[in-house]
Each structure stands twice: as structure tokens, then as C-alpha cells.
Amino acid sequence: MAEFEGLSTDTPGAHPKQASALRQDEYVMLKERPCKIVGLTTSSPGKHGGTKVTIVGVDAFTGQEYQDVVPITENCEVPLVKDYAVTYIDNGFLILVEHDSENFPKEKVLEIPEGDLGDKIVAHYLDGDPPLVTVLSAGREEKVLDIKADRNLGHLHADLRHT
């Protein structure tokens, strides 16, 4: 369990974010599941409490919809979403390294996603245009969410192959 400024989070790698700061298409933990926010509504304060936010999200791994209602000032858990450079592809797996790591890049190995996303990642890599990928990490679950082609990564890949 990680500790963040007095907030105890149950999901390793998660960090707190105030409910009022959440936005559509971001990720948040709902019912202990990493969900993409598809709906946010704010209720007016009433005689039985302050302003609340209704958060509707779709599980990033299962597609199931979840909903929660929290006070607008409450901190919510947000899963880690980070960019990684694809350094190598081998037997259906992506070998990734943190894009913004300055000293000792951390390596991560994930399966190539199925469908169009996986096809795009492999195509960019094979074309000599190694992409950045956005990865969601929530506890022991990880998933490639998106690809960001970046033609300025060639130096990073060359440096990593020589270490």
C-alpha cells in the first residue's frame, strides 16, 4: 500500500487527485478498478451535505461500467498513466523503457496489444519510426492504451542498444 500526502491508496502506483479536478477521458479508480471517465456530473449542495460528483467510468480491462458518487473535495485514486519508448519487439512482446527517465531507465515487457493498436505499433517499429506508447498501470494489471509516433526517438534507441 502506498502513502501520498496523508492519503492511503490501495492500488500500487496510484496517486490522489481531488474529485473536482477529474476530467472526461482521464482515468480513475472506481470500485477498485481502473476506469476511463465517460461521464461527470456535479450536484448542487443540499440541506444534507455539500456538492458531490457522480463519476461514471468504463473499466480499462473488462469494459464494464462503474459509477461512484463522492464529495467534490474528496481525493480519488488515479492509476499511473505513463509514456514508454518501444526499444525492441520480440515474440509478441514489446520491450519498453521509460521515455522521461534520465539516469537509469526502467525496462518493462508487455504483450503487443491485439487489433489495430498492436498493428500500428509494430508497423511504426518496423518502418524505423520507433513509437512512444502510453501505458496504464493499476496494481498488477498493465495495458498499452495508445501510440504516439515520435521521429525524435532514434537517438534513444541507438543509445539503449549499446548499453
Where do the structural domains in the chain lie, given as residue ranges? 2-78, 80-161
C-alpha cell recorded at residue 59: 473499466
Percent of the chain with pLDDT over 70: 78
**Residue 74 neighbours by CB distance under 10 Å:** 14
* Residue 20 phi, psi dihedral angles, 5° rounding: -65, -20
C-alpha cell recorded at residue 102: 534520465
- Helix (H) or strand (E) holding 27, with range, is strand 27-30
pLDDT at residue 152 tops 90: no
Digit-coded pLDDT (tens) for 95-151: 999 866 566 677 899 999 999 999 999 999 999 888 999 999 998 899 999 998 654
**Within 13 Å, how many C-alpha atoms sit on residue 96's CB side?**
26
- pTM metric for this prediction: 0.77
Fold of 80-161: OB fold (Dihydrolipoamide Acetyltransferase, E2P) (2.40.50)
Q: What is the pLDDT of residue 102?
A: 66
Q: What is the pLDDT of residue 12?
A: 66
pLDDT at residue 10 tops 70: no
pLDDT at residue 1 tops 70: no
152 or 7, which is more confident: 152
Instruction: Using pLDDT thresholds of 50, 70 and 90, give the confidence band for residue 49.
Output: confident
Which residue has 485514486 as its cell numbers? 77
Domain covering 2-78 in this structure, CATH number: 2.30.30.30
Q: How far apart are CA 10 and CA 136, in angstroms?
A: 16
Quick one: DSSP state of residue 159? Answer: H
Q: What is the pLDDT of residue 89?
A: 94
3-class state of residue 71 by DSSP: strand
